[in-house]
Amino acid sequence: MGDKSTPLLAVLQLLRKYNLKGTEEILRKEASLGDAEYENLDLPEVELASILTAHHTESDPYSYEFAYESLKKFIENSLDIYKYELSTLLYPIFVHMYMVLILYEHTTHAANFLEKFGPEQEDYYQEDLKKFSIVKNKDQIKGNELAEIYSSNKFVVQLSRDASSQLKRFLHEQKTTVIINIINNHIQIEVHDGPGRSLAQIRATAGGMLGEATRNENRTKVYYGLLKEPDIQLPPVPVEDEEETEETPDKPKKKKAKKDNIFMKKPKSDPNAPPSDRIPLPEMKETDKLEKGKALREASKRVHLGPDSLPSICFYTLLNSGHTAICADICDDSTLLAVGFNNSTIKVWTLTPVKLRGMKSAEKLQDIDREAGDVLVRMMEEKDRDTCRTLFGHSGPVYKVAFDPFKNLLLSCSEDSTVRLWSLQCWTCLVVYRGHVWPVWAVRWSPHGHYFASAGHDRAARLWATDHHQPLRIFAGHLSDVDCVQFHPNSNYIATGSSDRTIRVWDCLTGTQVRIMTGHKSPIFVLSFSVCGRWLASGGGGGELMIWDISTGLPAATLPPAHTAPIHALAFSRDGTILSTGSLDCSIKLWDFTAITEEVSGEEIGNNSTVQKDDRFLLRSFPTKNSPIKDLHFTRRNLLLGVGSYEGSS
Amino acid sequence: MGDSDFVYGSSLSIDSMKVIAESIGIGSLGDDAAKELADDVTYRLKVILQDAMKFMHHSKRQKLSITDIDHTIKSKNIEPQYGFLQPDSLPFRFASGGGRELHFIEEKEIDLSEILSAPPPKVPLDVSVRTHWLSVDGVQPTVPENPPPLTKEIQKLESVDPISKLNKPTNKDAAGKPMCGKAARLKASESVHVKQLATHELSVEQQLYYKEITEACVGSDEGRRAEALQSLACDPGLHEMLPRMCTFISEGVKVNVVQNNLALLIYLMRMVKALLDNQSLYLEKYLHELIPSVSTCIVSRQLCLRPEMDNHWALRDFASRLMAQICKTFNTSTNNLQTRVTRLFAKALQCPSQTNNENGVGPSMVTTMKESEKTPLASLYGAVQGLAELGPEVVKVFILPRVRWLGERVEGALSGLGGADRQAAGNLKQQLLKVLAPVVRQLRQPPDLPEEYKRDYGYLGPSLVQMVAKQRSSPAGGGGGGAVAVVTCTPPLVPSAPSPSPSPSPLQSHSHTFSTKTVETVATRNVVISASPTPQSPAPATPPPQKFVIVASQQKPPQAQPASGASHIVVHSSQPAIVRSQNVQSVVVTSGPAGAAPPQKVVVVGMPPQAAPPASSAPASAAHPSHPPLVQTASHPPAVASSASQAPVSVVAKPVFTRGGGGGAPQPPPELDDLSHLA
């Protein structure tokens, strides 16, 4: 009864959709359907089409197995230049066949089908497949995260022109329409003009939850250059506050930028830089400028790093923290360390002999002469000093803490779905930003302060300004949790990494997605832009490290797997020559980033060729004594600081 | 559906559903319903677990915890399950029977009043930050905060399977040495890889370290030696120097045995001890050098210049414990280490008779006398001690059958003329009694008749019977529970002195007895001989005034207690005590054998953590000497030896209790207190 009624119901639903009442009535009578079944006409819209187109084969569950096998055979027998591209079709077709089998309640066949062909799918899909395989009947398809993603989105497959015509020929020869229906309904075939890609090329970009990123999606120009550093001796360039109404991405406004930059220190302007007023940036305060000046002085004493002069690493071990410490951050001038804990608290330590001081009470503050030169010192409490302060406020584990560039403020995000802004002067919570619905996984400051971005379990990233209690932008598009977020050094873009194994770059101005990058084989937990702004490094749950070229949106390098556990910390040295990664496998690794980028620049940019590199980029690995790495930070003089929590000798 | 689909997950069984239904009072759950429920529950549980993984990942953990599941449930708008808290992983127990298998959590009934009355638990330590250098200019310093460059497992693997190292040419670059300059370029270009012969080249720093350490270990500065030994025992990353260290030790033993330089032998053994104690080293590859050295120090005919004066017995005891520790640590079914070592010692006991001793027929007196020249008593002592440390079973099998013969040897030597021989015989006898008593006690039923013992064990029978009787009567039963201090004040066995009463010593073997003897010779020299926890009264010493102080105590402060007996004093109380002998009244003895003082060997065998405070630092009350914390003692030089050749060394002698990790003695290691507060 079940397998018979499904197409009938589908037809009935279709008739109702087009409001053909008469026909509907007759059909109902003729099929002698009960009222109960009639009422339950809620088949998913997309499935409707596939059911209707497939209805004549649906009665035969074996046809799926047969069709899949013949497709497999066709792909295996095709020429090598087509073979690898075509094989990317197998997984989506497999998944949708399984879904159709479930929908028609051929549960036994579905299980057999899964058992037979599941293990031979690509290794990076196995995790998904395991998650998806828990769906064992029709009711579970509704509401299952993965099933919804698969049925409501199209899987993207890129084929060369020849390969796609091969495929077409094969499909025409087929007796059943099973595969053709799935391709029509659930797969988006992008045809490109180049030659067929090799296995390595495909592997480099494959792995996304819904296939590869298409080239069309990454055509928008991205201004990956850096903004001019404001000259701290001069008053900063006045920035216009008006937002541009229309953005023409293909027309860089270099000239205007140049005019503004006359007073800048570096006379040369970066051709890829966005106009300095593209995003309104806050004016720097006097104290901020002092801080900036200090940073520049420090930077002049910086050690130059390279493969032959590796940085020293100072490691901060959190003792007695067990599994309670979750995240850590070190402020830009490396004087403060903040750690977020499982028990909703945040602790801030000072890393220098300077103690942490609280601000005086309001009454006492009134007595202070505001014109005094040392007003900033005077307003701080004299007695109340500590090397560690605890911030209470969250009601769930704190998943990320972040110091603002001028170390006055601290942001934290938590399982309680809020982002909190804390003052590091009075040591209290200033603002609670509510907006996320579910736990917030990540929060990051813009390099210029004022703005920050957050990302969470609700599959969206948000852009905020500290003075607004509502988000300025919501970046939606990821198919699964957004696990990490990172600002571009020029504050114009943010990058997000997600459990759907894609990295997306969003334009803060327009709120649109400008890049989507696939190639990761596991969820992405940490992102970091290179100092020059062109490259993006990303660390995944499987311990893999990838380098992306923002200008093209293509993977620049897939570094050989060196870590055995998720990477949760990435840091570029201040001169951009060394990349350091820290992982839960209790080791810090240093990579020769100069060599990586030189390698890429040497290659033809634009073709999808990224070959697996050998391990010559890995400079060194430093294990710790069972302390998983929570954070890495380069000081302004290029000393690497690491933070980890000791988990006892096992 | 309910089928075993192991590739893509399993599901709850219908039986489980029924059990759960019964537990909430639904008696008859139909099969269909149960199956339906099982499928649904499986699905929902898996969905929750999948989401809990996200929480786990974001907590930067690799182990799912209950809070992750709580948060997931909360995020699905379901009330979390309160009250399930488990800081560590759930200890599932497994039970099977009647064809059913069950995993369950052991839940104990807790008495609330007990909890209420109990003192509140300790507040957990607050999180603190500790800083150290993980790398200095790209080189990981080998400090205790950093893991050893080569983990013990890898060292072990290398020693078992040397090829594994060749298979991983990159592991050195990735983990160990900096790759720079020529090596790096060579590696980058596709050059032919030539297998390097010397895989253990040392950096300049390492060479310096090696030089410093070896000099300090055998030098005269006790402070430096303690530091050096501490470094050897604790520092990670010494594995590259191990071959050289071991060669140093083995060569050193070879040379010093010939020269009878007892002090240096002791230092070398302490080095071995330190290396053995180092957690990051795996010594198996070097046992071929270490074992001969250690066994030399156990059974060598002569270890010192004046066997009748110097306490080479302590060295033999110490080395025996080292050997036992080595056997315990490295014995595997492939190397049969313990068997081989046991055979080595057993041979020493067997050698002279050449006859089958096991049949109980002892060799005739004549042969023994004749053969006795072949195996000196000192070697016999070493062999007995070495076997004794390997456990009571070994004693039973290898020593007990030879008791009669050994007894004859002892008897012969005691009645003989040679002073050294008599002393050795006395020691051997005490040692035998101590070793054998517990074993015999286990073997024989209570009526201990001297005649039977005499019949079975020959000369040693009567002594043994008393020893056993004493053990049986003592309540502690050899457990060595209370700390007991036994002070022996015995006139030393000098050739002219009357031999100590041949009667069995009343020493309780269940208590630790330490004969610690301080001999103060000329001026500043403090000499302490601390013997092992063996009841080894008459400790050999120089004839003139001297004091014997045996202090054994664990935690309790010793009490001074006057003793009267001239020979052996046993304090039965559980209180440690310091007793002065009658005939040695003066505690500070300044005169040695007038001017004669031949090279005074000082023997101190020490294990740093249990060392007492330096003598100089404790002029305090004799009644309540403070027991130093471990940390403090570790930083202090635990022992001293000086030799005449290093003339003006002002050495501070400290008694040190030594105790090998292995051995069969189950007693906890006591501490030896300082002697100087008697001054």
* CATH number of the domain encompassing residue A129: 1.25.40.500
Tens of pLDDT along B230-254?
888 888 778 778 888 888 898 998 8
Q: What is the pLDDT of residue B347?
A: 80
* Total CB pairs under 8 A between chain A and B: 170
pTM score, two decimals?
Answer: 0.65
Chain A residues with beta carbon closer than 8 angstroms to that of B1: 107-108, 111, 136
Chain B residues with beta carbon closer than 8 angstroms to that of A394: none
Kindly state whether residue A543 falls inside one of the protein's structural domains.
yes
Distance of CA A494 to the CA centre of its chain: 10
This complex has an ipTM of: 0.83
What residue in B sits closest to A304 (Cα-Cα)?
B137
Shared-domain flag, residues A72 and A134: yes
- Counting runs of H as helices and runs of E as strands, what totals does chain A give? 19, 31
Chain B residues with beta carbon closer than 8 angstroms to that of A588: 134
Tens of pLDDT along A464-512?
999 999 999 999 999 999 999 999 998 899 999 999 999 999 999 999 9
pLDDT over 70 at B524, yes or no:
no
Chain A residues with beta carbon closer than 8 angstroms to that of B62: 565-566, 584
**d(CA B503, nearest CA chain A) in Å:** 53
Chain B residues with beta carbon closer than 8 angstroms to that of A650: none
Nearest residue, CB atoms, B62 vs list A525, A584, A625: A584
- Count of CB atoms within 10 A of residue B182's CB? 7
Q: Please judge whether A620 and B50 are an interchain contact, meaning their C-beta atoms are less than 8 angstroms apart.
A: no
Kindly state whether residue A38 falls inside one of the protein's structural domains.
yes
Cα angle, residue B651 at apex, residues B650 and B657 outer, rounded to 5°: 170
Residues B412 and B418 sit within 8 Å (Cβ to Cβ): no
Chain A residues with beta carbon closer than 8 angstroms to that of B59: 323, 326, 342, 397, 399
**d(CA A93, nearest CA chain B) in Å:** 18
Kindly state whether residue A248 falls inside one of the protein's structural domains.
no
Per-residue pLDDT, averaged over B616-638, amounts to 38
Per-residue pLDDT, averaged over B396-421, amounts to 78
Chain A residues with beta carbon closer than 8 angstroms to that of B189: none
**Does A416 reach chain B within 8 Å, measured CB to CB?**
no
Residues B675 and B616 sit within 8 Å (Cβ to Cβ): no
Distance of CA A630 to the CA centre of its chain: 18
**d(CA B12, nearest CA chain A) in Å:** 12
Chain A residues with beta carbon closer than 8 angstroms to that of B136: 312
Kindly state whether residue A139 falls inside one of the protein's structural domains.
yes
Cα–Cα distance measured from residue A250 to residue A218, given in angstroms and rounded to the nearest whole number: 13
Shared-domain flag, residues A515 and A570: yes
| Domain stop point among A133, A164, A197 | A197
Q: Residue A30 belongs to what domain range? A: 6-55
- Count of CB atoms within 10 A of residue B277's CB? 18
Strand A451-456 with A460-465, pairing: antiparallel
Q: What is the pLDDT of residue A399?
A: 95
Q: Please judge whether A342 and B9 are an interchain contact, meaning their C-beta atoms are less than 8 angstroms apart.
A: no
Shared-domain flag, residues A410 and A558: yes
Kindly state whether residue A502 falls inside one of the protein's structural domains.
yes
Out of A161-165, B100-104, B648-652, the most confident range is: A161-165
Cα–Cα distance measured from residue B209 to residue B641, given in angstroms and rounded to the nearest whole number: 23
Give the residue from A138, A399, A415, A640 with the most B CB atoms within 10 Å of its CB, the best one to mutate: A415
Residues A408 and A427 sit within 8 Å (Cβ to Cβ): no
**d(CA B235, nearest CA chain A) in Å:** 14
Chain B residues with beta carbon closer than 8 angstroms to that of A111: 1, 3, 5
Cα–Cα distance measured from residue A300 to residue A319, given in angstroms and rounded to the nearest whole number: 35
Out of A123-137, A424-438, B624-638, B641-655, the most confident range is: A424-438
Strand A418-423 with A409-414, pairing: antiparallel
**Does A523 reach chain B within 8 Å, measured CB to CB?**
yes
Give the residue from B65, B69, B129, B146 with the most A CB atoms within 10 Å of its CB, the best one to mutate: B129
Kindly state whether residue A178 falls inside one of the protein's structural domains.
yes
What residue in A sits closest to B129 (Cα-Cα)?
A318
Chain A residues with beta carbon closer than 8 angstroms to that of B5: 111, 114-115, 133
Nearest residue, CB atoms, B130 vs list A319, A341, A616: A319
Strand B128-135 with A313-319, pairing: antiparallel
The A residues from 147 to 166 touching B (CB cutoff 8 Å) are none
Shared-domain flag, residues A19 and A91: no
Shared-domain flag, residues A390 and A493: yes
Q: Please judge whether B134 and A313 are an interchain contact, meaning their C-beta atoms are less than 8 angstroms apart.
A: yes
Shared-domain flag, residues A38 and A124: no
| Domain stop point among A147, A175, A197 | A197
Tens of pLDDT along B161-201?
656 555 544 444 444 444 444 444 444 444 455 555 545 56
Q: What is the pLDDT of residue A496?
A: 95
Shared-domain flag, residues A93 and A132: yes
**Does A123 reach chain B within 8 Å, measured CB to CB?**
no
* Amino acid identity at A385: R
Q: What is the pLDDT of residue A556?
A: 86
Q: Please judge whether B128 and A588 are an interchain contact, meaning their C-beta atoms are less than 8 angstroms apart.
A: no
Chain A residues with beta carbon closer than 8 angstroms to that of B184: 307
Q: Please judge whether A625 and B126 are an interchain contact, meaning their C-beta atoms are less than 8 angstroms apart.
A: no
Q: What is the pLDDT of residue A4?
A: 52
Q: Please judge whether B133 and A642 are an interchain contact, meaning their C-beta atoms are less than 8 angstroms apart.
A: no
Return the minimum-mean-pLDDT range out of A306-315, B88-97, B279-288.
B88-97
The A residues from 552 to 571 touching B (CB cutoff 8 Å) are 562, 565-566, 568
**d(CA B149, nearest CA chain A) in Å:** 9
Give the residue from A98, A313, A341, A573 with the most B CB atoms within 10 Å of its CB, the best one to mutate: A313
Give the residue from A98, A320, A323, A414 with the most B CB atoms within 10 Å of its CB, the best one to mutate: A323
Shared-domain flag, residues A544 and A496: yes
Secondary element (H or E) of residue A186 = helix A178-186
Q: Please judge whether B58 and A618 are an interchain contact, meaning their C-beta atoms are less than 8 angstroms apart.
A: no
Nearest residue, CB atoms, B57 vs list A136, A323, A541: A541
Tens of pLDDT along B452-496?
777 777 777 778 888 888 877 775 444 433 333 333 333 333 333
Shared-domain flag, residues A149 and A44: no
Nearest residue, CB atoms, A134 vs list B43, B87, B146: B43
Nearest one of B356, B462, B440 to B396, comparing CA atoms: B440
Cα–Cα distance measured from residue A349 to residue A317, given in angstroms and rounded to the nearest whole number: 12
Tally of domains within chain A = 3
Nearest one of A476, A466, A515 to A492, comparing CA atoms: A515
Kindly state whether residue A377 falls inside one of the protein's structural domains.
no
Cα–Cα distance measured from residue B501 to residue B491, given in angstroms and rounded to the nearest whole number: 11
Successive 10-residue mean pLDDT values, chain A, 650 residues: 61 77 78 64 64 59 84 88 87 89 84 86 86 84 84 87 88 81 87 82 82 80 81 46 40 41 50 82 81 83 85 92 89 91 92 84 79 75 81 94 90 93 91 92 92 93 92 92 93 92 92 91 92 91 90 84 90 91 92 85 49 67 89 92 83
Give the residue from B35, B53, B59, B185 with the most A CB atoms within 10 Å of its CB, the best one to mutate: B59
Q: Please judge whether B54 and A129 are an interchain contact, meaning their C-beta atoms are less than 8 angstroms apart.
A: no
Q: Please judge whether A630 and B175 are an interchain contact, meaning their C-beta atoms are less than 8 angstroms apart.
A: no
**Does A328 reach chain B within 8 Å, measured CB to CB?**
no
Which CATH number do you get for residue A435? 2.130.10.10
What residue in A sits closest to B59 (Cα-Cα)?
A326
Tens of pLDDT along B356-395?
444 444 444 444 444 445 677 888 888 888 888 888 888 8
Tens of pLDDT along B49-80?
989 999 999 999 888 888 889 899 988 888 88
Shared-domain flag, residues A36 and A67: no
Q: Please judge whether A318 and B147 are an interchain contact, meaning their C-beta atoms are less than 8 angstroms apart.
A: no
Cα–Cα distance measured from residue B143 to residue B135, given in angstroms and rounded to the nearest whole number: 10
Nearest residue, CB atoms, B3 vs list A111, A137, A342: A111
For chain B, what is the mean pLDDT?
65
Q: What is the pLDDT of residue B55?
A: 92
Q: What is the pLDDT of residue A454?
A: 94
3-state SS, residue B556? coil
Q: What is the pLDDT of residue A451?
A: 93
Q: What is the pLDDT of residue B417?
A: 67
pLDDT over 70 at B209, yes or no:
yes
Q: Where are the beta strands (DSSP E) in A473-541?
A: 473-476, 482-487, 493-498, 502-507, 513-518, 524-529, 535-540
Shared-domain flag, residues A416 and A556: yes
Kindly state whether residue A459 falls inside one of the protein's structural domains.
yes
Residues A568 and A582 sit within 8 Å (Cβ to Cβ): yes
Shared-domain flag, residues A22 and A121: no
- Count of CB atoms within 10 A of residue A367's CB? 8
- Helices of type H across A40-119: 45-58, 62-77, 80-87, 90-103, 107-117
